[in-house]
């Protein structure tokens, strides 16, 4: 099957080598650790053999632990880093990290959700993404989409991957209006969506079939070649959820997705960007 999990976090309790970023405490680390060996084991049982690591917020923009895991397990892991978008030259840091195997950069909205992407740092990041084929990966809710859309119009060649179905259904019931707003982003040809974090959306209960209509609409808008499945582990294996249920929703429970397109969502789209 050779599936790709496009969104996983790992962290360690080796604080001497990998200290927590300012503002984070050990008490916030739940679970206390999540090691690469654990996600490899979960993936193997479900046909997943490549994994995209997303820099964990506990470390801020110190990406060393993620990079060390990528080096230790060559060919198994790719990476999405965090850098400071307010730095003078975030594009230089993107190029430096790309040489170490990083293929994407996580960004998130701030309190000024309507204008969060308007600064010069984001302009440099999108320009670099377009030039170097490096993905910008927003963790945002639908209110942040207009600001992102303006950048997509400015930099249509920059790959953009919206995390976790734009968090629709995370804190409120699934909304037709919000799903429509996400689907309108399909007009930008390099915008992709992670079909992921099922444990956190909608009813938050396996087999997650309440998400089927949202996934169908996003699938019809973007096509399988612009969707990628991800677990968002370790959270997908906490609180009574399990890894297999996340894979199975795409692999066998949604009859509107063809067999070929299941392979694209579970493997090919993410592999084309990250491996």
- Write out pLDDT tens, residues 71-102: 999 999 999 999 999 999 999 999 999 999 99
Q: What's the pLDDT at 111?
A: 86
Q: What's the pLDDT at 268?
A: 98
Say which residues have a Cβ less than 8 Å from residue 228's Cβ, sequence separation at least 6: 4, 6, 161, 192, 193, 194, 195, 196, 265, 269, 270, 273
What 3-state DSSP class applies to 187?
helix
Give, as one character, the DSSP assignment of residue 232. Answer: -
Say which residues have a Cβ less than 8 Å from residue 44's Cβ, sequence separation at least 6: none
Are 120 and 91 a contacting pair, CB within 8 Å?
Answer: no
CA dihedral 66, 72, 74, 79 (to 10 degrees): 0
Which residues of the chain form beta strands (DSSP E)?
A: 3-8, 48-54, 77-81, 102-108, 135-139, 160-162, 191-196, 227-230
β-bridge partners, 72:
none
Element (H, E) at 99: none
Q: What's the pLDDT at 100?
A: 98
Rounded Cα gap, residues 77 and 101, in angstroms = 9
Low-confidence ranges of the chain (pLDDT < 50): none
Q: What's the pLDDT at 1?
A: 85
Rounded Cα gap, residues 91 and 235, in angstroms = 31
Residue in 204, 214, 143 with CA at minimum distance from that of residue 174: 214
pTM as predicted? 0.97
Q: Does domain 3-274 have CATH number 3.20.20.140?
A: yes
Q: Where are the domains of the chain?
A: 3-274
Edge-first strand order for the sheet with 191-196 is 3-8, 48-54, 77-81, 102-108, 135-139, 160-162, 191-196, 227-230
Separation of CA 72 from chain center: 22
Are 233 and 245 a contacting pair, CB within 8 Å?
Answer: no
Q: What's the pLDDT at 17?
A: 98
In our burial notation (b when 16+ CB lie closer than 10 A, e otherwise), range 48-77 reads: bbbbbbbbbbbbbbbbebbbebbeeeeebb
Residue in 246, 215, 183 with CA at minimum distance from that of residue 46: 246
């Amino acid at each position: 099957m050779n599936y790709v999990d496009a969104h996983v976090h790992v962290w360690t309790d080796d604080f001497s080598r990998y200290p927590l970023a300012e503002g984070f405490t050990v008490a916030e680390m739940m679970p206390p650790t999540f090691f690469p060996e654990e996600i490899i084991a979960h993936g193997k049982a479900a046909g997943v053999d490549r994994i995209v690591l997303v820099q964990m917020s506990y470390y801020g923009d110190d990406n060393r632990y993620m990079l060390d895991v990528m080096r230790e397990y060559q060919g198994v892991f790719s990476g999405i880093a965090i850098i400071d978008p307010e730095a003078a030259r975030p594009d230089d840091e993107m190029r430096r990290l790309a040489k170490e195997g990083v293929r994407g950069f996580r960004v998130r909205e701030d309190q000024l959700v309507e204008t969060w992407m308007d600064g010069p740092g984001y302009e440099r990041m999108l320009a670099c993404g377009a030039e170097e084929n490096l993905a910008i990966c927003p963790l945002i809710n639908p209110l942040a989409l207009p600001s992102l859309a303006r950048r997509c119009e400015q930099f249509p060649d920059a790959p953009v991957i919206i995390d976790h179905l734009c968090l629709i259904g995370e804190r409120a019931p699934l909304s037709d209006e919000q799903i429509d707003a996400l689907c309108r982003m399909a007009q930008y040809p390099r915008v992709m969506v992670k079909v992921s974090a099922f444990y956190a959306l909608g009813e938050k209960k396996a087999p997650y079939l309440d998400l089927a209509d949202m996934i169908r609409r996003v699938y019809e808008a973007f096509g399988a070649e612009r969707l990628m499945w991800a677990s968002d582990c370790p959270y997908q294996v906490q609180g009574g959820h399990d890894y297999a249920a996340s894979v199975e929703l795409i692999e066998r429970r949604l009859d509107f997705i063809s067999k070929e397109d299941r392979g694209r969502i579970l493997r090919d789209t993410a592999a084309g960007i990250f491996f």
